[in-house]
Amino acid sequence: MADYSKHIDFIKSVYGNQEFTPLSVPVFVGNEKKYLSECIDTTFVSSVGKFVDRFEEEMAKYTGAKKAVVCVSGTNALHMSLMLAGVERDDEVLTQALTFIATCNALSYIGAHPVFIDVDRSTMGLSPDAMKAWLQANAEVRDNKNISRDDIQLHTDYAIPQYPCEQDTKACYNKNTGRRIKACVPMHTFGHPVRIEEIVNLCKEWHIELVEDAAESIGSTYKGQHTGTFGKIGAISFNGNKTITTGGGGMLLFNDEEFGKYAKHITTQAKVPHRWEFRHDHIGYNYRMPNINAALGCAQLENLDIYVESKRRVAAEYEAYFKNVPEIEFFVDSPDTFSNYWLNAVILKDKTAQLEFLEQTNDNGVMTRPIWELMNRLPMFESCENDGLENTIWFADRVVNIPSSVRL
């Protein structure tokens, strides 16, 4: 068995040689208490209030989106994004098996089916090369046969909100299953942007809607553009271990302001504005972020750049150290990208080394973890189509996340 004690000591030193070094914890050093107190004093702690509006406006400005809409969780954001993109029951969605369960849960709520495409070795996210190869071998573009939206809402037991716009007369179909391939959901793994421009072009060529899973990548950019703003809709998470947190929460990002306004309406029970009447014009969703959570988000956002800078400094220290460790590779961001390094990752030489590293670090007060169990290995998704997932499996057998908290 390899001895990783020297590396464990270094990781501990990065965070001040604490008795226990956690993986990723939130930091509250700004106006959190002030804004929470203000929110409580107004009594508007639920789904309306100035902090909700402010958080949406400031996030739109920060990311460059035309409209930002808060919701209860990142999973909610993905679910609503897929529905607004037109994903329906029995559609297929191209995504990656190397992701958190929320990605696949969200499309499963609709009754859609994931098709797992391999990831890049350079980004750990959905590979445009693998996507192109799979589409060329297994898909075709033809007339969109799906029934009209009105018929869907009349004859099914679920409702999918659809912003009124011109529908694409062409669609992509899986030649093996006959199902429509409606969307593609790349995930910016651990904050590292995928080769998103190439995926955008593939989606346009194959008449597929792009929904970005930017849950982990707030503060990350590709060629200077914030992740989550390349597709029709992007989804962000503010869970407790993210770079900034609202305790629990998510957000949708839109490049079309009117589309974003429609989403805001749907996620707030589709209530028609009126001083006293409660009238609703659509089947809506109670996906509203409470004002008190948004107050926390406003305070966190004020320090986001400081937090990202801190995480990148930590990553640079890890990179410099592991350059001199032949048996361990530190994963770095790729050209044209700026990663928030939400979770730092090291790559061990094989599965045995990975397990030994996990055991020794956790036994000695350093919290580490492997990649989530691959989606195609879970019982709910083990029968879903995939392309072999060579790189995905390679990473799953070797990657370990190491402590990544903001250090101030």
Instruction: For 86-106, give the DSSP string.
Output: T--TT-EEEE-SSS-HHHHHH
What's at 44, amino acid-wise? F
d(CA 123, CA 101): 19
d(CA 108, CA 9): 43
Q: Do the Cβ atoms of 402 and 346 come closer than 8 Å?
A: yes
Place of tokens 């503010």: 238
d(CA 197, CA 210): 11
Q: Please state whether beta strands 329-330 and 344-347 pair in parallel, antiparallel, or not at all (unpaired).
A: antiparallel
What is the predicted pLDDT for the residue at 283?
87
Mean predicted lDDT score pLDDT of the chain: 94
Q: In sequence order, what DSSP letters do the residues of 263-324 get, joined into one string?
A: HHHHHBTTBPP-SS---BSS---B-PPPHHHHHHHHHHHHTHHHHHHHHHHHHHHHHHHHTT
d(CA 81, CA 84): 5
Instruction: Name the CATH superfamily, with its identifier, for domain 5-27+304-402.
Output: Aspartate Aminotransferase, domain 1 (3.90.1150.10)
d(CA 124, CA 344): 12
Angle (CA) 108-110-115 rounded to 5° is 45
Q: What is the pLDDT of residues 107-146, one digit of tens each?
A: 999 999 999 999 999 999 999 999 999 999 999 999 887 6
- Does the model's pTM come out above 0.75? yes
Domain ranges of the chain: 5-27+304-402, 32-302
Q: What topology is assigned to 32-302 in CATH?
A: Aspartate Aminotransferase; domain 2 (3.40.640)
Q: In sequence order, what DSSP letters do the residues of 143-159 get, joined into one string?
A: E--PPPHHHHHHHSSS-
Please report which confidence band the pLDDT of residue 167 belongs to, taking 50, 70 and 90 as the band edges.
Answer: confident
Query: Between these two residues, 163 and 272, which has the higher pLDDT value?
Result: 272
Q: What is the pLDDT of residues 322-369, one digit of tens each?
A: 999 999 999 999 999 999 999 999 999 999 999 999 999 999 999 999
d(CA 124, CA 394): 10
